[in-house]
Chain A
């Protein structure tokens, strides 16, 4: 059996540890949110490179690079949403909805759909057919990005 003194010391240590863990978690959340926002912006840039080609304002090499990046970043999405990273987001306009974690399988399904559409965009860009690229771009944007943004993202009312 532990002495009173010993258990008090253990208790205090536990409180300190829990506090430190909480602090670390808060730090983590901030870092995660930053990484998440940066990744989404990066995806926007990559899509912009594909769109620029479609609009005759950019070259095919850049479109290829953008599409290839998107196949990587769409697969990074689950890692950007660890549990406990929903809720308040002081630096952004949107929050991740709790349904992401209450129905993680559905979230993964949507993420995989986006990743599949990104792969299809690479195939289309490599094929070089403008109409096919346009269709794949629209499908990824509207149903891939837009699909997730409908079910799993919410605007912060300011």
Chain B
């Protein structure tokens, strides 16, 4: 991108996107109402079970729980140092006053898919909404059903850190229009079910591209270098290339090697990963074996991209 969109243009696109997101929200509500028409008043248990599985895979609890200070599950309060500033995760328990208990389905879907809160403010991309944009309607509904079963905790949200400049929020807003939000991921009919499942998990709850793809100024992942590693990952660290390039990526890893990493954090050299990836491994270790295998199949199928240095 050269220079970024002009103010009037970005404002126009923004209003377009907002309108579109409202329309989408409406469609989702209609779909949810249709669903409710066929189901009983209480969500079926398997909906909650599926939602719990997705929440574990995405690791909602990891950011939305202040584990270090013995915080309650999903009540928020964890401080996250990001390249955009210091963010304190919000309460997503069903408490009506401090949590998301009053949110309607459309509020939830808009927040998850577009990073826009019910009060129309934009979340920073510390919340990986661009990935959750690709969740299916059914999965968004399942996640909401699960979160409604979490213990409601009354815990007021903290303001974000002082280092968080308004510019960062403006950038977050521009990223919303700069990014290609295609909505629920569409299956590729030329590929089998395993590949498609892997593609879906990587694009949504796995959000591998969040760290493994370099970003432009607005924080948008570079589409030409998907999964080719980044020099500015969490904490300013380099993030490895996970395309199958044999020299600089993971081309020499077998599917089993990838599965082992996702399961126990174990590399082919029998090292065990730490840092930001260790946190992701906590999520992927909660997937079932078939889903971990699907991710490995998908990653092995990516076009290999050479990076400047090994692993980046």
Q: Using CB atoms and an 8 Å cutoff, list the residues of chain A in contact with chain B.
A: 40, 44-45, 47-48, 51, 137-138, 141-142, 145-151, 153, 155, 157-158
**Of B260, B269, B272, which contacts A146 at CB under 8 A?**
B272
What is the interface size of chain B, counting residues whose CB is below 8 A from a CB of the partner?
20
From known contacts A141-B264, A157-B237, A157-B238, infer whether A146 and B270 are also in contact, taking CB-CB under 8 Å: no
The answer to whether B270 touches A44 (Cβ under 8 A) is yes
Q: Is the CB of B272 within 8 A of A149?
A: yes
**B62-100 near A? 1/0 per residue, CB < 8 Å:** 000000000000000000000000000000000000000
Q: In the bound complex, what is the Cα–Cα distance between A146 and B273 (angstroms)?
A: 6
Contact residues in B for A148 (Cβ distance below 8 Å) = 274
Question: Which candidate, B209-217, B277-285, B291-299, is the interface stretch facing chain A?
Answer: B277-285
Binding site for A on B (CB under 8 A): 237-238, 260, 263-266, 269-275, 278-279, 281-282, 285, 309
Min CB–CB distance B265 → chain A (angstroms): 5
* Beta-carbon nearest neighbor of B281 in chain A: A142
Shortest Cβ distance from B189 into chain A, in angstroms?
34
Determine if B278 and A155 form an interchain contact, defined as CB atoms under 8 angstroms apart. Answer: no
Q: Can you name the residue of chain B whose Cβ is closest to the Cβ of A44?
A: B270
Write 11 A-B pairs (CB below 8 A) sorted by A numbering. A44-B269, A44-B271, A138-B263, A138-B264, A142-B265, A142-B272, A142-B278, A145-B265, A145-B272, A146-B272, A155-B237
Given A48, A51, A149, which contacts B274 in the complex, CB threshold below 8 Å?
A149
Residues of A within 8 A of B309 (CB): 158
Question: In the complex, what residues of A have CB within 8 A of residue B282's CB?
Answer: 142
- Measured in the bound complex, the distance between the Cα atoms of B93 and A152 in whole Å is 32
In the assembled complex, which residues on chain B have CB atoms less than 8 Å from the CB atom of A145? 265, 271-272
Would you call A149 and B237 a contact (CB within 8 A)? no
Q: Is there contact, CB below 8 Å, between A146 and B274?
A: yes
- What is the distance, in angstroms, from B198's C-beta to the closest C-beta of chain A? 21
Q: Considering the chains assembled together, what is the distance between the CA atoms of A147 and B270 in angstroms?
A: 15
Residue of A nearest to B279 (CB): A150
The chain A residue sitting closest to B273, CB to CB, is: A146
**B267 closest partner in A (C-beta):** A44
